[in-house]
Structure 1
Amino acid sequence: MTNNNSKMVNIIRAEYIASAVKNDQFPCEKLLEIAFIGRSNVGKSSLINSLTRVRNLARVSGQPGKTQTINFFKLRAKYYENEIIKDFYLVDLPGYGYAKTGQANRKRWAAFIEKYLLSSKRLYCVCQLVDIRHEPMEADINMFKWLVENNLPVFVIATKADKISKNLVKSNIDRLKKAFCVPELTILPYSSTKNEGRSYLLDFIGQALVE
């Protein structure tokens, strides 16, 4: 997965649309949604910037729990074969796990995220990000199980793949599959620094838009 160019689509525009802390703040335009969620400081903002190739589209912070709203980005995909244009929302969800906030705030965010995930009629998939360098935390496993139990399609992306050797990437992917108890699970190793995995993710999104 070293080729960074998608065979199917390219993102030709990406823009921030809205931040929401309640339903009536969601965008009005009815577009397919692909949500991104992960533990705080997993590299979600870096991945969004890598995917869109728009620097600082999503703010990168070393402070865990920085994203405290549901953020909507409108992306425009152009298909190479027929030059068809399709728009969709990339939905950036607040990180779960550690955050510099009180328990009451964390519970409120969790309830809001859950309500969005269970009620959105245009949600195609939830991309769950995990740090490939470490054992998945209980919060990662619980989130994966919750998504599966609620019949939400989930695509696991293992971030920061450039931080370890290729041999470790393979063994750590196998370890993640074991932790999630799904041996056949597809897990995409991704490097936001090197854009490795970008072409695969773009093709995944491109296929989603034509289904």
Structure 2
Amino acid sequence: MHLFQKATFYTSVNDMHALPQHTGVEIAFAGRSNAGKSSVINTLANKNRLAFVSKTPGRTQHINFFQLNESQFLVDLPGYGYAKVPDNIRKHWEELLSQYLQTRESLKGLVLIMDIRHPFKALDIQMLDWFIPTGKTVHIILTKADKLSKQQANITLQHATQYVHESYPGCSVQLFSSLARSGIEDATSVINSWLSVD
């Protein structure tokens, strides 16, 4: 059994002061609204509704923590970039995201979720620009790979890999499809390597 299959809901917070205090490590998942972030988490955990999947973008409005064991957590961050969210809420999300990504000491790495058909939008770049200066690792998952032909998906992966190699050295990129259940081993391997480093 993969470690992620032991994931259970731990807590949900909407304010930096409410973040859980623990001595363990966290791996965060971030992505644009409707990029498939919740589906990735559910697929890795092999559970249908661990993270809430909605056809309505912008549904994840809190930072949701899932516990793997006593000292390891997955963190589902609010989706960003949904136009219909009121300005004050969007501003709060942005402040919460940037503060969490830039200051959370227990955060070990960031899994950045992008729809393979629309990678590296302005807000994705903003996330990278917020997080890269921390010196922590980023793994980019290009979701919905089944929506493209195998050839087109591989071309997109090649372009994405070249882009991060030039602009954000140290980032890794992979293809993923929740529907086809492909890319699970690659993602699991990367995240496990982060969790196993002291």
Contact 1:67 1:95 in 2 (8 A): yes
Residue 51 (str. 1) matches residue 55 (str. 2): no
Inter-CA distance 39–171: structure 2 relative to 1 (3 Å threshold): same
User: Which residue pairs with 2:174 in the alignment?
Assistant: 188
Q: Which 10-residue stretch deviates more, 86-95 or 50-59?
A: 86-95
Gaps of 5+ in 2: none
Larger radius of gyration: 1
- Name which structure has the greater RCO, CA cutoff 8 Å, separation 6+: 1
Task: State the partner residue of 1:80.
Answer: none
TM-score between the two structures when normalised by the length of structure 1:
0.83
By how many angstroms is 1:146 displaced? Answer: 2.8
* Distance in 1 between residues matched to 2:168 and 2:62, nearest whole Å: 33
Which secondary structure state, in structure 1, belongs to the residue aligned with residue 67 of structure 2?
A: strand
Residue of structure 1 in register with 2:139 after alignment: 155
Partner of residue 74 from structure 1, selected from 58, 62, 67: 67
Select which of 57, 61, 71 maps to 2:54: 61
- Measure, in 2, the Cα distance between the counterparts of 1:149 and 1:210: 22
Partners of 2:162 and 2:83 in 1: how far apart?
Answer: 27
1:168 CA drift (Å): 0.7
CA distance in 2, matches of 1:108, 1:137: 20
Pair 153,37 (structure 1): closer, same or farther in 2 beyond 3 Å: same
Question: 82, 87, 90: which one pairs with 1:98?
Answer: 82
Q: CA deviation at 1:131?
A: 0.8
How is 1:134-149 mapped onto 2 (pairs within 5 angstroms)? Answer: 134-149=118-133
Q: Which residue of 1 aligns with 2:99?
A: 115
Selected match of 1:171 from 155, 162, 175? 155
Counterparts of 2:6 and 2:191, CA distance in 1: 15
RMSD: 2.1
